Chain A
Amino acid sequence: DAKTTQPPSMDCAEGRAANLPCNHSTISGNEYVYWYRQIHSQGPQYIIHGLKNNETNEMASLIITEDRKSSTLILPHATLRDTAVYYCIANTGNQFYFGTGTSLTVIP
């Protein structure tokens, strides 16, 4: 699985868009980009995934660059409940390497 690099922490004002970057420069052609988040004392929660195209669901949008070397998770209107650790993972699906993620703090 490709290694991913994320900033260790970010802040975002409540109501604003949170843009979480991820670098996966060694990603291979059949590896998907997955995003999970983990709120304190809970198990990780699946957010979204994609291969090449941008994706959107009720939780977030995923923007993948054309060369697939990086991606951005967008939470369009961050709320206090979005405070969590966000993990970006590039893999082919059987097991995930989570890394240490980005700790997002949404500020009132």
Chain B
Amino acid sequence: DTGVSQNPRHKITKRGQNVTFRCDPISEHNRLYWYRQTLGQGPEFLTYFQNEAQLEKSRLLSDRFSAERPKGSFSTLEIQRTEQGDSAMYLCASSFGQGPGYTFGSGTRLTVV
């Protein structure tokens, strides 16, 4: 069990560029979650998958954001036409069923300049 792995750890991009983050969950976990965290705030839910199906999306997930989990293994989160307001830590977590609890990765810190 190597935990939840997120890549890259840091990403700096220019406004208007597209970025993609990857999350590798714990292998036996069937649920995968994406959260976003801005400075001084707690993580905010974005979306979750059960196997390859995306079952829930927050209203925070605008049409510039898309998440996939092909084959129910790793997941990618893409942000198109990045804006400065997208600067945040993007956290991935996984669980088997509802838990108990999730295991979080260390996150990808995005800075949009």
A contact residues vs B (CB 8 Å cutoff): 34, 36, 41-47, 49, 85, 87, 93-101
What is the size, in residues, of chain B's interface with A at 8 Å between Cβ atoms? 24
Given contacts A87-B42, A98-B44, contact A43 B91 (CB under 8 A): yes
A49 to B91, CA, bound (A): 21
Partner of B41, one of A42, A93, A94, A100: A100
Partner of A49, one of B55, B56, B99, B103: B99
B contact residues vs A (CB 8 Å cutoff): 4, 33, 40-45, 48, 55-56, 58, 91, 93, 98-107
- In contact, B106 and A42 (Cβ under 8 angstroms): yes
Chain A residues positioned under 8 Å from B41 (CB to CB): 100
A41 to B42, CA, bound (A): 13
Q: Name the CB-closest residue of A to B98.
A: A93
Given contacts A43-B106, A101-B42, contact A94 B56 (CB under 8 A): yes
Closest 8 CB pairs of A and B: A98-B42, A46-B101, A43-B104, A93-B98, A95-B45, A98-B43, A44-B104, A99-B42
